[in-house]
Amino acid sequence: MLRPARLHDARAMAEMSRDLVESGLPWRYTPARMSALIRDTETIALLACEAERLRGMAVMQFLDEHAHLSLLCVQPMQQRRGLGRRLLDWLEASARVAGIGSIVLELRADNLSALAFYERLGFVQTQLMPDYYEGRIAARCMRRRLRHDAGAG
C-alpha cells in the first residue's frame, strides 16, 4: 500500500535512508530533517507499507519547472518486485498534474543497480560530479523529461 508519510514515520524513514542510501557517509537525512520534509508543503514523502511495516519510500520536492527526487529506496528483500517503480510512478503522476517539466536526481556513482533502475525508467545522465558526497564519492546527475519543452530543469 502506498501512502503519504506522517510525522511518526520520520525515524523509520531516516534509519532506512541511513542504512540503504547514506551507508558509509555521515547521516544527513536524520529524523529531524525527515520531519521537516514531511511538513514541507512543496515536498511529497511517500511510503510503501505492508501491514504498517515500511518497505520502501520516496521523497520528492516540487519546484517551479522540475521536481527533485531526493530519496528513493526499497528494503533489499523487497527489491525487484516493482515497488520502486510504483513509488516513482505515483510521484511522476503527481508531477504531471502539477505541470512539472522534468524530474531530476543525484545518485551515488558507485550504485550501479540504481543507475540501471533509473535508466530503465527513462532517466538519462546529464553530468558526473566528482567528490559530490563528502568529497569522497562521485554523483551521477540524471533527468527524465515529462514534457518535450522541459529544459535542463
Q: 145 in a domain, yes or no?
A: no
What is residue 149's predicted lDDT score, i.e. its pLDDT? 63
Q: Is 106 a catalytic residue?
A: yes
Q: How confident is the model at residue 64 (pLDDT cuts 50, 70, 90)?
A: confident
* 109 or 133, which is more confident: 109
CA distance 107 to 70: 9
What is residue 131's predicted lDDT score, i.e. its pLDDT? 82
Residue owning grid cell 560530479: 129
Share of the chain above pLDDT 90, in %: 70
From the candidates 22, 92, 118, 133, give the one annotated as an active-site residue: 118
* 6 or 80, which is more confident: 6
Q: 23 in a domain, yes or no?
A: yes
Q: 57 in a domain, yes or no?
A: yes
State pLDDT tens for residues 19-44. 988 887 788 899 999 999 999 999 99
- Listed in order, strand segments (DSSP E) in 32-148 are 43-50, 53-62, 66-74, 102-108, 124-133, 137-145
What is residue 153's predicted lDDT score, i.e. its pLDDT? 47
Q: 133 in a domain, yes or no?
A: no
Residue 82: give the domain boundaries.
2-103
CA-to-CA dists, residue 92 to 44, 85, 121, 144, angstroms: 11, 10, 11, 10
Q: 78 in a domain, yes or no?
A: yes
Q: 115 in a domain, yes or no?
A: no
Distance of CA 129 to the CA centre of its chain: 18
From the candidates 106, 119, 132, 133, give the one annotated as an active-site residue: 106
CATH of the domain at 70: 3.40.630.30
CA distance 40 to 46: 13
Q: 69 in a domain, yes or no?
A: yes
| Total of domains in the chain | 1
Q: 140 in a domain, yes or no?
A: no
Q: Is 134 a catalytic residue?
A: no
Distance of CA 18 to the CA centre of its chain: 13
Strand 124-133 and strand 66-74: pairing? unpaired
